[in-house]
Amino acid sequence: MSNDDESGATIRLAMHPPRGRTLIDLSKPTLGRDTQDQIGRDLRLMYAGLLREPLPDRLLDLIARLGLTARRTLQ
């Protein structure tokens, strides 16, 4: 299968994986541990203020009702 883009270059897509070659397993992390750690630190810094925000009353009511339901189920 091929597709021509505006520049005239042809892009060829293999319909079947090449024989005898190993395909990249995309389910495994491809970022190094240091990079993953840095992303985690950056995300924690970005969302630190949000974690200190109070929960909306509607959400607190829902949590309370879920807790009551769970207690009734356990009895």
DSSP strand E in the chain: where? 2-4, 10-12
pTM: 0.39
Spatial distance between the Cα atoms of 59 and 62, rounded to a whole number of angstroms: 5
User: 38 pLDDT band (50/70/90 cuts)?
Assistant: very high
pLDDT at 40: 96
pLDDT per residue over 4-29, tens digit each?
A: 445 566 666 656 656 666 666 667 66
**Helix (H) and strand (E) counts in the chain:** 2, 2
